[in-house]
A and B are shown apart, each in its own frame.
Chain A
Amino acid sequence: MTYIAKPRLHHPTLKTNKVGYTRRDYEGRVSTLCAGCGHDSISAAIIQACWELDIEPHRVAKLSGIGCSSKTPDYFLGASHGFNTVHGRMPSVLTGANLANRSLLYLGVSGDGDSASIGLGQFANAMRRGVRMAYIVENNGVYGLTKGQFSATADQGSKSKKGVINSDSPVDLVGIALQLGATYVARSFSGDKEQLVPLIKGAMSHGGAAFIDVISPCVTFNNHGGSTKSYDYVRQHNEAVSRIDFITPGNEITAEYAPGELIEVNNHDGSMLRLRKLHADYDATDRYAALSYMNQRAALGEVVTGLLYIDPLATDLHCALNTSAAPLASMGPEQLCPGSAALQKINAALR
Chain B
Amino acid sequence: MKRIEAVNDFVIKFANVNGSGSASANELFAKAILRMGVPVSPRNIFPSNIQGLPTWYEARVCEKGYEGRRGGVDMMVAMNPQTWDTDMAEIAPGGYLFYDSSRPIPPDRFPEGVHVLGVPLTEIANATYSDTRQRQLFKNIIYVGALSVLLDVEAEVFERLFAEQYRGKERLLDSNVQALHLGRDYVKQHLAAPLGIRVRRADKVGERIFVDGNSAAALGCLYGGATVAAWYPITPSSSVPEAFQKYCEKYRTDPATGQHRFAIVQAEDELASIGVAIGAGWNGARAFTATSGPGISLMAEFLGLAYFAEIPVTVIDVQRGGPSTGMPTRTQQSDLMACAYASHGDTKHVLLLPEDPFECFEFAAAALDLADRLQTPVFVMSDLDIGMNQRLCKPFEWDDSRRYDRGKVMTAEELEAGRDFGRYKDVDGDGIPWRTLPGTHASKGAYFTRGTTRDPYARYSERGPDYLYNMERLLRKFRSAAGLVPQPVTRQAAQPTRFGVIYFGSTSPAMREALDELEAEGVHLDALRLRAFPFPQCVPEFIAAHEKVFVVEQNRDAQMHSMLVNELDVDPSRMVRVLHYDGTPITARFIAGAIRKNMVWHREYA
* Chain A residues at the B interface, C-beta cutoff of 8 Å: 1, 3, 56-59, 61, 63, 73-74, 78-86, 89, 91-101, 103-104, 121-122, 125, 129, 317-318, 321-325, 327-333, 335-340, 342-344, 346-347, 350-351
Contacts and interface: CB of A to CB of B under 8 A. Distances in A.
Interface in B549-584: none
Contacts of B265: 95, 99, 129, 317, 321
Interface in B225-277: 225, 227-228, 230, 251-252, 254, 257-265, 267-269, 271-277
A56 B271 CA distance: 32
Contacts of B400: 339-340
29 contacts: A61-B438, A78-B446, A81-B437, A81-B446, A84-B448, A84-B451, A92-B276, A92-B279, A93-B275, A95-B279, A96-B228, A96-B230, A96-B277, A97-B438, A99-B276, A101-B437, A122-B268, A125-B272, A317-B263, A321-B265, A322-B258, A328-B263, A329-B227, A332-B404, A333-B225, A340-B400, A347-B207, A347-B396, A350-B211
Contacts of A101: 283-285, 437-439
Interface string B435-448: 01111111100111
Contacts of A328: 227-228, 261-263, 280, 285
B438 A125 contact: no
A346 B219 contact: yes
Contacts of A339: 398, 400
B402 interface: yes
Contact of A58 (B252, B269, B274, B443): B443
B224 to A, nearest CB: 8
Nearest to A96: B279
Between B205, B261, B269, B402, the greatest number of chain A beta carbons within 10 A of the residue's beta carbon is seen for B261
Contact of B448 (A82, A89, A317, A329): A82
B459 interface: yes
A58 B302 contact: no
A123 to B, nearest CB: 11
A175 to B, nearest CB: 19
Given A84-B449, A343-B396, 16 more contacts: A58-B439, A58-B440, A61-B438, A81-B449, A83-B282, A84-B452, A92-B279, A93-B278, A323-B263, A324-B261, A329-B285, A333-B225, A333-B403, A347-B209, A351-B34, A351-B208
Nearest to A336: B225
B541 interface: no
B399 interface: yes
A86 B439 contact: no
A79 B210 CA distance: 52
B408 interface: no
A321 B264 contact: yes
A337 B285 contact: no
Interface in B406-452: 436-443, 446-452
In terms of DSSP, what is the predominant structure of the interface of chain B? loop
A324 B252 CA distance: 10
B305 interface: yes
A337 B223 contact: yes
A81 B210 CA distance: 46
Between B261, B283, B452, the greatest number of chain A beta carbons within 10 A of the residue's beta carbon is seen for B283
Contact of B402 (A3, A318, A333): A333
A104 B280 CA distance: 13
Contacts of A121: 268-269, 272
Contact of B282 (A56, A57, A93, A337): A93
Given A100-B228, A337-B223, A346 B396 contact: yes
A91 B302 CA distance: 13
Interface string B195-233: 000000000010111110000000100110101101000
A72 B404 CA distance: 36
Interface string B82-97: 0000000000000000
B223 A343 contact: yes
A100 B279 contact: yes
A99 B263 contact: yes
Contact of B251 (A63, A129, A342): A342
Interface residues of B, number: 75
Contacts of A82: 446-449
Given A81-B449, A340-B400, A342-B251, A3 B263 contact: no
B147 interface: no
B395 interface: yes
B263 A1 contact: no
A152 B119 CA distance: 66
B451 A85 contact: yes
Nearest to A318: B263
Given A58-B439, A81-B439, A338-B223, A122 B283 contact: no
**Ranked 6 nearest A-B pairs via Cβ:** A96-B279, A92-B275, A100-B285, A329-B284, A81-B438, A93-B279
B341 interface: no
Contact of B399 (A94, A129, A329, A340): A340
Contacts of B271: 89, 92, 122
Interface string B447-470: 111111000000110100000000
Nearest to B253: A322
A81 B287 contact: no
A104 B438 contact: yes
A56 B252 CA distance: 32
A93 B259 CA distance: 23
Contact of B398 (A56, A59, A92, A343): A343
A338 B252 CA distance: 8
Given A100-B284, A101-B438, A324 B260 contact: yes
B156 interface: no
B108 to A, nearest CB: 46
Contacts of A1: 460, 462
B209 A96 contact: no
Contacts of B254: 324
B154 interface: no
A86 B459 CA distance: 18
A91 B273 CA distance: 11
A59 to B, nearest CB: 6
A332 B302 contact: no
A94 B404 contact: no
A104 B252 CA distance: 23
Contacts of B268: 121-122, 125
A321 B258 CA distance: 11
Between B230, B271, B282, B438, the greatest number of chain A beta carbons within 10 A of the residue's beta carbon is seen for B438
B410 to A, nearest CB: 13
Contacts of A351: 34, 205, 207-210
B152 interface: no
B257 to A, nearest CB: 7
Given A89-B275, A324-B261, A100 B447 contact: no
B261 A79 contact: no
Nearest to B399: A340
